[in-house]
Chain A
Amino acid sequence: MPEIKVTPLGAGQDVGRSCILVSIAGKNVMLDCGMHMGYNDDRRFPDFSYITQNGRLTDFLDCVIISHFHLDHCGALPYFSEMVGYDGPIYMTHPTKAICPILLEDYRKITVDKKGETNFFTSQMIKDCMKKVVAVHLHQTVQVDEELEIKAYYAGHVLGAAMFQIKVGCESVVYTGDYNMTPDRHLGAAWIDKCRPDLLITESTYATTIRDSKRCRERDFLKKVHETVERGGKVLIPVFALGRAQELCILLETFWERMNLKAPIYFSTGLTEKANHYYKLFITWTNQKIRKTFVQRNMFEFKHIKAFDRAFADNPGPMVVFATPGMLHAGQSLQIFRKWAGNEKNMVIMPGYCVQGTVGHKILSGQRKLEMEGRQILEVKMQVEYMSFSAHADAKGIMQLIRQAEPRNVLLVHGEAKKMEFLKQKIEQEFHVNCYMPANGETTTIFTNPSIPVDISLGLLKRETAIGLLPDVKKPKLMHGTLIMKDNSFRLVSPEQALKELGLAEHQLRFTCRVHIQDPRKEHETVLRVYNHLKGVLKDYSVQHLPDGSITVESILIQATAHSEDQGTKVLLVSWTYQDEELGSYLTSLLKKGLPQSTS
């Protein structure tokens, strides 16, 4: 049976690093190449030795696909392509291609410069790695080679995130990466057509979450900002430059307008430039609303939000500042943080996940005394808040996607088996498909039932349906023909036709069987008895009594002779061609049962 093999790579049972190996119809594809953000040593990289112990990865893998720019999906890519060694194509969407190198470089800087690590990829490696990248558009079918094709679908979640369909012949796999089924202010919801893949691979980490509504999260965010500003404090919001920052700005602007607030809101200039640039390039990736507003006005021309200047950080009184980078590990946001940390009236709102080692991570874990450069201790008295806006699919979203795509099997990655049993049962009950949950390093084999289309010649079809032994509509019918496989097409033709095409002579096979019947009468009387018997039983067939004393049933010949030694026994010779095997066998067994007593 043809099969699809899936192996999530990685060392240990941890969630947090995406890298999945798929083997489909002889092609090998690697889905995502993420870094585990919690480890400082080699455990953060996936274990590539699963792919092949010896031999080059480039020979083994047909392509690598990256779903989006989050580091737990692409962080190990330069390591993989430049340090382990891979020269084949790497596919990702255009926004992902543009944003990945920035994030990777940022990450490299923290790891090497801040933490002093040596065994890490270099800036040059990032550049070399990106040269191997082939960017794809949404819904564009890309031929990786003659047999393997891939297609990207919109996934929501972050700018440029995509779900990929991998197809070889009529077998296909869809990998979702991270996706979101509810649209938010600047990104749409994931969407896929009824592509009916043999397998749908989806992350299940957030399947057990029932998310608080956007309205309530935003309300909470605004409340926190408002309270801080009311008591004269300053709010620092470190952002990652794209997407979320935009959303939060729109939110604050509307709120300020409604509540008639006067405190200034600033947006650091680095952000403005970058964001503008990217939004112009990737306008098709955001949703309708943003597109409309973008066209009408420049996104960053807010009434209440102004460009930030370094000096403003020292101004007295309340204010809100958006600054990069998002994890407080360097640059402007860190500078501002240091100035404001000592005052308990101030607040910092962390927008999401922070890599280990960054100030952001430390304060989110509860540390209140931080060691800065030059062994200076910084006491953090300001309020630390966490605001998670990142959007992942929950159980309801996963069910929705399965309903849209109609896969034949589902595979869940990144969940502990015992925590996923309920979801597995839910999926199996609702959709009647198999649901698999392999652990990292474990290979799951999914058997597929590909349908192979075959052209059947009309003549053959007519012939085969004409001959029949009491055909039953419900039973599958056995047909005889010759299968010709040529140039990726299959044809079923009659043997004569095939022989003719091949220029070969046809050989006939004829079977003869002897049936002994007790009958003392003369031969021609026996023949008459046989003829009448057969005519009575085989009403749908052409039974003929020929002048030469033989009987034909369709094209089968029956002749009677006397037994050489025993006059009381007649020998019936039943003779048929290979094609009439079924009928011939049937006749023989019928005759063996004997003739009825009465004769006409």
Chain B
Amino acid sequence: YEDLHTFELQAPTRVIEWAQGNRVCVAGYGQSGGNEILQLLPPPTLQVKETQGLCPERDFKVECGGFSNRPVYSLKHVPGTSLLVTSGPPDSSLQIWQVSAEDSDVIKSISAIPTENGTGQPWAKIATISARAPWVLHGSRLSSVQITEVESRKNVYMAASRNNEELSGLAFLDCNALLLCCARGQLCLADVRQPQSPLEAASVPSAPCGERWCMGVGRGPQGSDSSSQPVALLSSGGHLTLTDLRKTSESLASAKCGVPSPSSGAEFLCVSWAPALEGCLAVSGFDGTVHVYDTQGWDSSGREVEPIFVHKGHAFGGPGSSGGRPLVTVHTWHPQKSRTLLSAASDGSLHVWDWVQSCGNC
């Protein structure tokens, strides 16, 4: 490691979201209420400047906090605003929060976006954008995909689909194009300007059924066409498929990453592209480790690949861990520091690590 920070949160989180001003948001997912949503100020050692400030503290500061009765399974920051959107069981509605760091340090719940399907629906996946206005794209099934304007809570788009497939993720490719990933692995594209046309199933993975899939969408530099970045699909069996959205009939590359058995389910599967390292992606959710892969040089054979780095810190458990190995619940890349990642695990640990590339391009 070049650098390593390990922290212990009071409650484990399964979201790590970057918010305004390089802040990081985390939230609890306990079933019995009293979950905290925290906006943290990262320590100065994580600031972008290479030459450190003179007295770099190594601690996170809790800037603001709020309380949520529901477990928070997904949290997204609405770009350009001080609003956060969260979702979680028992239904697919969304909660909107206001972070007002100036007047007080409390994150206030300001409203909720209910959904018609009622309780019993799986929790909604969310994505946000602030192109024409602050929008949130959400839904728990293909049939319930919609875009709501955050401030007015007006519905702006409704997907014309009767398909009840459960979603595992959704994303804005740009201000008009939507990408939806089903839990069974199909990718669908939609255009906001054409709400009536049915969703086009873009690709179906060629892997054994019964696996759950999730996706990672590359975030190119501002202004670039997002659809030029391949989409990575990860399955609960460890299959990784890269697909180019312009040519969805066949996958770009396919590989398999080593997965411990028995597998621990697909609850926390997470795959994401490095924002500043060409072709690198990170995978987590199988155990207490985070794997980083270099996809350059992958072919379509689906063979097993070796990671270029493995972060094992969470597997050892913190001081209070009692029985059961911790599971990495989520990870994310630092937007500017190319080899820095943040990862959280089910034992409440939060790690920030910067690895040393042993060979190849640094």
Which residues 378-433 of A have a CB within 8 angstroms of B?
Answer: 384, 386, 388, 395-396, 399, 418-423, 425-426, 429-430
| A426 with B65: CB separation less than 8 A | yes
A365 on the B face (CB < 8 A): yes
Once the chains are docked, how many angstroms separate the CA of A209 from the CA of B9?
11
Once the chains are docked, how many angstroms separate the CA of A207 from the CA of B38?
13
B-contacting 9-mer, from A109-117, A216-224, A252-260, A488-496: A216-224
Known: A395-B10, A421-B104, A422-B105. A209 touches B59 (CB 8 A): yes
Question: A194-209 interface mask toward B, CB cutoff 8 Å, 1 = contact, 0 = none?
Answer: 0000000000000111
Once the chains are docked, how many angstroms separate the CA of A210 from the CA of B8?
7
Contact of A426 among B36, B56, B64 (CB under 8 A): B36
Contact of B34 among A212, A364, A429 (CB under 8 A): A429
Contact of B62 among A215, A219, A366, A422 (CB under 8 A): A422
Output the least CB separation between B318 and chain A (Å).
Answer: 8
Known: A365-B54, A386-B55, A421-B105. A210 touches B7 (CB 8 A): yes
Output the least CB separation between A156 and chain B (Å).
Answer: 16
Contact of B6 among A215, A419, A420 (CB under 8 A): A215
B67 on the A face (CB < 8 A): yes
| B59 with A429: CB separation less than 8 A | no
Question: A106-130 interface mask toward B, CB cutoff 8 Å, 1 = contact, 0 = none?
Answer: 0000000000000000000000000
Which residues 414-459 of A have a CB within 8 angstroms of B?
Answer: 418-423, 425-426, 429-430
| B59 with A212: CB separation less than 8 A | yes
- Chain A residues near B58 (CB-CB < 8 A): 211-212, 216-217, 220, 388
A213 on the B face (CB < 8 A): yes
Which chain A residue lies CB-closest to B26? A210
| A208 with B63: CB separation less than 8 A | yes
Q: In the complex, how many residue pairs between chain A and chain B have their CB atoms under 8 Å apart? A: 79
Known: A209-B62, A211-B7, A215-B6. A425 touches B55 (CB 8 A): no
Which residues 20-42 of B have a CB within 8 angstroms of A?
Answer: 34, 36, 40
- Chain B residues near A215 (CB-CB < 8 A): 6
| A211 with B34: CB separation less than 8 A | no
- Chain B residues near A429 (CB-CB < 8 A): 34, 67
Output the least CB separation between B10 and chain A (Å).
Answer: 5
Contact of A430 among B4, B6, B34, B61 (CB under 8 A): B34
Question: A355-375 interface mask toward B, CB cutoff 8 Å, 1 = contact, 0 = none?
Answer: 000000000111000000000
B303 on the A face (CB < 8 A): no
Q: Of residues A208, A364, A366, which shows the largest number of chain B Cβ atoms within 10 Å of its Cβ?
A: A208
Contact of A210 among B4, B34, B60, B103 (CB under 8 A): B60
Once the chains are docked, how many angstroms separate the CA of A210 from the CA of B39?
12
Which chain B residue lies CB-closest to A223? B3
- Chain B residues near A208 (CB-CB < 8 A): 61-63, 105
Which residues 40-95 of B have a CB within 8 angstroms of A?
Answer: 40, 43, 54-67
Which chain B residue lies CB-closest to A207? B62
Once the chains are docked, how many angstroms separate the CA of A485 from the CA of B239?
83
Which chain A residue lies CB-closest to B40? A210
Once the chains are docked, how many angstroms separate the CA of A430 from the CA of B64?
18
| A213 with B59: CB separation less than 8 A | no
Once the chains are docked, how many angstroms separate the CA of A420 from the CA of B62?
10
Output the least CB separation between A433 and chain B (Å).
Answer: 16
Which chain B residue lies CB-closest to A399? B10
| B59 with A419: CB separation less than 8 A | no
Which chain B residue lies CB-closest to A365? B54
Which chain B residue lies CB-closest to A388? B57
Which chain A residue lies CB-closest to B56? A386
- Chain B residues near A395 (CB-CB < 8 A): 10, 62
Once the chains are docked, how many angstroms separate the CA of A229 from the CA of B250?
55
Once the chains are docked, how many angstroms separate the CA of A419 from the CA of B41?
13
Contact of A209 among B56, B60, B106 (CB under 8 A): B60
Known: A364-B55, A399-B10, A418-B105. A210 touches B36 (CB 8 A): no
Question: B99-122 interface mask toward A, CB cutoff 8 Å, 1 = contact, 0 = none?
Answer: 000011111000000000000000
Once the chains are docked, how many angstroms separate the CA of A208 from the CA of B56?
17
Q: Of residues B4, B58, B105, which shows the largest number of chain A Cβ atoms within 10 Å of its Cβ?
A: B105
Once the chains are docked, how many angstroms separate the CA of A576 from the CA of B62?
71
B5 on the A face (CB < 8 A): yes
Question: B175-217 interface mask toward A, CB cutoff 8 Å, 1 = contact, 0 = none?
Answer: 0000000000000000000000000000000000000000000
- Chain B residues near A213 (CB-CB < 8 A): 5-8
| A425 with B7: CB separation less than 8 A | no
Which chain A residue lies CB-closest to B61? A208
Output the least CB separation between B240 and chain A (Å).
Answer: 31
- Chain A residues near B61 (CB-CB < 8 A): 208-210
B residues lining the A interface (CB < 8 Å): 3-10, 34, 36, 40, 43, 54-67, 103-107, 350
New contact pairs (14) apart from A209-B59, A212-B58, A419-B105, CB-CB < 8 Å? A209-B61, A210-B8, A210-B62, A211-B59, A216-B6, A216-B58, A217-B58, A386-B54, A386-B55, A396-B10, A420-B105, A422-B62, A422-B65, A423-B65
A residues lining the B interface (CB < 8 Å): 207-213, 215-217, 219-220, 364-366, 384, 386, 388, 395-396, 399, 418-423, 425-426, 429-430
Per CB-CB distance, the 3 closest pairs between chain A and chain B, nearest first, are A422-B65, A386-B55, A212-B58
Can you give 7 contacting A-B residue pairs, CB < 8 Å?
Answer: A207-B62, A208-B105, A213-B8, A216-B58, A395-B62, A396-B8, A422-B62
